[in-house]
Amino acid sequence: MSEPSDPNDQFDDIVDTETNRDPDLAVIEAGSRTLRTQGGPPQGDPVPGRPEDPELDKALREVETELSTRWGETKLEPSVKRIAALMDVLGEPQRAYPSIHITGTNGKTSTARMIEALLGAFELRTGRYTSPHVQTITERISLDGAPISAERFVETYQDVKPYVELVDAREEYRLSFFEVLTGMAYAAFADAPVDVAVVEVGMGGTWDATNVIDGSVAVVTPIDLDHTDRLGGTTGEIAGEKSGIIKQGATVILAQQPVDAAQVLLKKAVEADATVAREGMEFGIVSREVAVGGQLLTLRGLGGEYDNVFLPLHGAYQAHNAAVALAAVEAFFGIGAEHARTLDVDTVRRAFAQVASPGRLEIVRSSPTVILDAAHNPHGARATAEGISEAFGFSRLIGVVSTSGDKDAKGLLEAFEPIFAEVVITANSTPRATDVDALAATAVEVFGEDRVVVEPRLDDAIEAAITLAEEEAEYGGAGVLVTGSIFTVGDARLLLRRG
Residues 323-336: tens digit of each pLDDT: 999 999 999 999 97
Determine whether 151 is exposed, middle or buried from the number of CB atoms within 10 Å of its CB (0-12, 13-18, 19+).
middle
- Residue 182 and residue 63 in contact, taking contact as beta carbons nearer than 8 Å: no
Residue 205: per-residue pLDDT: 86
Residue pair 453/462 in contact (Cβ under 8 Å)? The answer is no
Under DSSP, the state recorded for 177 is H
- Computed over every residue of the chain, the mean pLDDT equals 87
Is residue 337 very low, low, confident or very high in pLDDT (cuts 50, 70, 90)? low
Over residues 207-228, the mean pLDDT reads 88
Contacts of residue 306, Cβ cutoff 8 Å, sequence gap at least 6: 298, 299, 300, 326, 342, 343, 345, 348, 349
How long is the chain? 499
User: pLDDT (tens digit, 9 = 90+) per residue, 173-208?
Assistant: 999 999 999 999 999 999 999 999 999 999 888 989
pLDDT at 318 over 80: yes
What pairs with residue 365 in β-bridges?
370
Which tens digit of pLDDT belongs to each residue from 422-442? 999 999 998 889 999 999 999
Amino acid 138: pLDDT: 95
Residue type, 251: T
Average pLDDT over residues 285-300: 95
In the predicted model, is pLDDT for residue 17 greater than 70? Answer: no
Mean pLDDT, residues 213-227: 88
C-alpha distances in Å from residue 282, one per residue of 24, 219, 227, 300, 304:
15, 14, 30, 8, 10
Best-predicted range by mean pLDDT among 240-244, 404-408, 417-421? Answer: 417-421
Tell me the whole-structure pTM to 2 decimals.
0.85
pLDDT at 106: 87
Pairing assessment for the beta strands 141-143 and 217-220 based on DSSP bridges: unpaired
- Determine the average pLDDT of the residues in 76-103: 94
Using DSSP, state whether 373 is helix, strand or coil. Answer: coil
Cα–Cα distances (Å) from 499 to 139, 491, 496, in that order, read 12, 10, 8
Question: What pLDDT was estimated at residue 34?
Answer: 22
Q: How far apart are CA 34 and CA 66, in angstroms?
A: 53
- Which residue, among 267, 462, 397, has the nearest Cα to 387 in the 3D structure? 397
pLDDT score, position 77:
74
* CA dihedral over 240, 245, 247, 250, signed as positive or negative: negative
- Say how far residue 361 (Cα) sits from the centre of its chain: 12
Query: In 3D, which of 489, 471, 488, 469 has the Cα closest to residue 479?
Result: 469
Strand partners, 362: 372
User: pLDDT-based confidence at 499, cuts 50/70/90?
Assistant: very low
CA 225 vs CA 26, 41, 63, 234, 321: distances in Å: 18, 32, 34, 7, 19
Coil, strand, or helix at residue 315?
A: coil
pLDDT band for position 341 (50/70/90)?
confident
Q: Are 330 and 301 in contact (CB under 8 A)?
A: yes
Q: How confident is the model at residue 22 (pLDDT cuts 50, 70, 90)?
A: very low
